[in-house]
Each structure stands twice: as structure tokens, then as C-alpha cells.
């Protein structure tokens, strides 16, 4: 069964460093999303992406964040200068055009900022 | 602004019994979608069920059904015939307007199924 994959599963970085979190959505999906979940807290929407552009972004998704679809398969989230409060689980999700409401989530990348 | 409330931080249910997880929402947008996700201890997010604001019937997916009461702004999840594997965190979420818009999640309910 096709699934969303994310790499790495765990990323440790120093405050101020740039990180790139990678996602490979399901191949025929057209909507892509990033969410984050700080440990023990609710899931928070970051950004959605459709037709090679950002569809919507939350107030969390400030200038430190960017997304890119560099090729036909990858979807990346970049954090330019990480802060301690960026430590969280980051989930990528995707959905297909004909069933856009069923989002398939990846296993997540745990980001730890020291 | 949209808001999702899950008032039950934890719930217990006996195996094979049904359980209802509460979710209320607040929005002024007539077009919205309501979602339920399951998060087992392994951490992944699993889509369970979706209800559109204009849908006439309550959504059902196998053992999951969504008790949608529009006037009361509630979207409770009913799990029938609970199984031990249903033990997990359950999140209610809402999206206003079109696909791709911001989706807001509730704080979650931790369900424990007892044998």
C-alpha cells in the first residue's frame, strides 16, 4: 500500500542552524501539508501546498519557514534558523484530488533543537 | 476564528462496548469540514472519518461513525465494539472553507480500552 515517507526520523540540531525535513508524498497526490506537534500538545497546521505553490499558511509559518517541491517526488520543509521552541514532531501529509479530505500522514520527523 | 474543543482528556471503555468521544466546534463559516484522527502510541496520525458541513447524513466508516449535530455544533466520534487496538489519542479537527485551508485540531482524548 502506498504511504507517505519522511526522512530523517530524528534530527538533532543546534539553535540557529538550518534544517531541511524531507517528505515523499504518495505519488498521485496533489495536496501536500506540513503539521507539527510539540510533545504532549495538539497538532498544529503549518502550511498547505497545491499546484506548486503555497495554498495556505498558519501564523506559525513565518519567514523562518519555507517549503519546496524540488522535483516530482519530494516535498521539503526548511527552517532557516532554528529556535529551541521549534523542537517538535513534524508531520507531512498528502491527499489526492478526488478524495482531498482524506489526508495520509507520514510517520513524522522528530526535531530536537539544542 | 475557528475553535475546536475536546472536553474529555481521557476515557475508558470496556472491550466490545461502544464509546463516544466528544467534540464541539465554533465557526461562522457555513462551509467547513470535520475530521477525526487516531494517534497510537507509535506516533503516526491515522485518518478515521470526515464530515462535510453540507452533508445530509452522518459519516460512517466501518466501526467509526460521526454523530454530527449541526445546530449544537458538535461532531462526536462513536466507536462501536471497541478493540484493544483502539487504545490511542483521538483528535478532532476542523477546516473552514476549501481544501488546503488551515486545519485546527482539538487537544485530543486519550482512549483506553480495557480487556
Contacts for A53-59 with beta carbons within 8 Å, 24 or more apart? A55/A31, A55/B100, A55/B101, A56/B100, A56/B101, A56/B102, A58/B102
Q: Residue B101 in contact with residue A48, Cβ under 8 Å?
A: yes
| Residue that is written with C-alpha cell 465554533 in the block | B26
pLDDT at B2: 62
Kindly report, residue by residue over A44-57, the tens digit of the pLDDT: 999 999 988 999 99
Mean pLDDT of A23-45: 93
Q: Chunked in runs of 10, what are the mean pLDDT values of chain B (115 residues)?
A: 88 97 95 95 92 94 96 97 97 90 92 97
Q: Check residue B42 and report its DSSP letter.
A: T
Residues of B in contact with A101 (CB under 8 A): 33, 35, 50, 52, 99
Average pLDDT over residues A26-44: 92
Pairwise CB contact (< 8 Å): A42 & B37: no
Cβ pair B105:A42 closer than 8 A: yes
Q: Which residues of chain B are within 8 Å of residue A100 when distances are taken between CB atoms?
A: 99-100
> So what's the pLDDT on residue B1?
58
Is residue B110 within 8 angstroms of chain A, CB to CB? Answer: no
Residue among B44, B47, B100 minimizing CB distance to A107: B44
pLDDT at residue A13 tops 90? yes
Interface of B with A in 36-65 (CB under 8 A): 37, 43-47, 50, 52
Q: Is B86 left (phi over 0), alpha (psi -120 to 50) or beta?
A: alpha
**Model confidence at A98: pLDDT above 90:** no
* Residue B66 bridge partners (DSSP): B77
**Chain A: residue nearest B50 by CA?**
A101
- pLDDT confidence tier of residue A72, bands split at 50, 70 and 90: confident
pLDDT at residue number A52: 87
Amino acid at each position: 500500500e502506498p504511504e507517505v515517507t519522511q526522512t530523517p526520523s530524528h534530527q538533532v540540531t543546534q539553535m540557529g542552524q538550518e534544517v531541511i525535513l524531507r517528505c515523499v508524498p504518495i505519488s498521485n497526490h496533489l495536496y501536500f501539508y506540513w503539521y507539527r506537534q510539540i510533545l504532549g500538545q495538539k497538532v498544529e497546521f503549518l502550511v498547505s501546498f497545491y499546484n506548486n505553490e503555497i495554498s495556505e499558511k498558519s501564523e506559525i509559518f513565518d519567514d523562518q519557514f519555507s517549503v519546496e517541491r524540488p522535483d516530482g517526488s519530494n516535498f521539503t520543509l526548511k527552517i532557516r534558523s532554528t529556535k529551541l521552541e521549534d523542537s517538535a514532531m513534524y508531520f507531512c501529509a498528502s491527499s489526492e484530488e478526488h478524495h482531498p479530505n482524506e489526508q495520509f500522514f507520514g510517520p513524522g520527523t522528530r526535531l530536537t533543537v539544542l | 476564528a475557528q475553535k475546536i474543543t475536546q472536553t474529555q482528556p481521557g476515557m475508558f471503555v470496556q472491550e466490545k462496548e461502544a464509546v463516544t468521544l466528544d467534540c464541539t466546534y465554533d465557526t461562522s463559516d457555513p462551509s467547513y469540514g470535520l475530521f477525526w484522527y487516531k494517534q497510537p502510541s507509535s506516533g503516526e496520525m491515522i485518518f478515521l472519518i470526515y464530515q462535510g458541513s453540507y452533508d445530509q447524513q452522518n459519516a460512517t466508516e466501518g466501526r467509526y461513525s460521526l454523530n454530527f449535530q449541526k445546530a449544537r455544533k458538535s461532531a462526536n466520534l462513536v466507536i462501536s465494539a471497541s478493540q484493544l487496538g483502539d487504545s490511542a489519542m483521538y483528535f478532532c479537527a476542523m477546516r473552514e472553507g476549501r481544501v488546503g485551508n488551515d486545519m485546527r485540531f482539538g487537544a485530543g482524548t486519550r482512549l483506553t480500552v480495557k480487556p
